Amino acid sequence: MEALDPAYFTRKLRDARFDSMIRRAIEKGEPLNQTDIERILARYSDRLLRFRGEVIARSEALAAFNTGRDLAMR
């Protein structure tokens, strides 16, 4: 964020509401203020945590399903 790397736009879990702000900063070559950076990173962190929770839940549900199927077959 502080380097204004355009690779930011390739992140799938980013909050697109901040895209215009970041795009303007990149075009002007002016860094974002610390408050904006913290807001953007907080939203990104929230989305990462939610995604991680979904992945864990999906994995555990599949493990339970497979265990149940295995027990039923025995």
* pLDDT score recorded for residue 41: 94
How confident is the chain (74 residues) per 10-residue block, as mean pLDDT?
A: 88 95 94 94 96 98 96 93
Q: Residue 55 falls within a domain, yes or no? A: yes
* pLDDT score recorded for residue 63: 97
What's the domain count of the chain? 1
Q: Residue 1 falls within a domain, yes or no? A: no
Q: What is the DSSP letter of 30?
A: P
Q: Residue 21 falls within a domain, yes or no? A: yes
3-state class percentages of the chain: helix first, strand second, coil last, to nearest 5 = 80, 0, 20
Q: What is the DSSP letter of 15?
A: -
* pLDDT score recorded for residue 1: 75
Q: For residues 40 and 6, what is the distance between their CA atoms, to the nearest angstrom?
A: 15
Q: For residues 13 and 3, what is the distance between their CA atoms, to the nearest angstrom?
A: 19
Cα atoms found within 13 Å of the Cα of residue 12, Cβ hemisphere only = 1
* pLDDT score recorded for residue 4: 87
Q: Residue 52 falls within a domain, yes or no? A: yes
Q: Residue 68 falls within a domain, yes or no? A: yes
Q: Residue 20 falls within a domain, yes or no? A: yes
Task: Note down the domain range covering 43.
Answer: 6-73
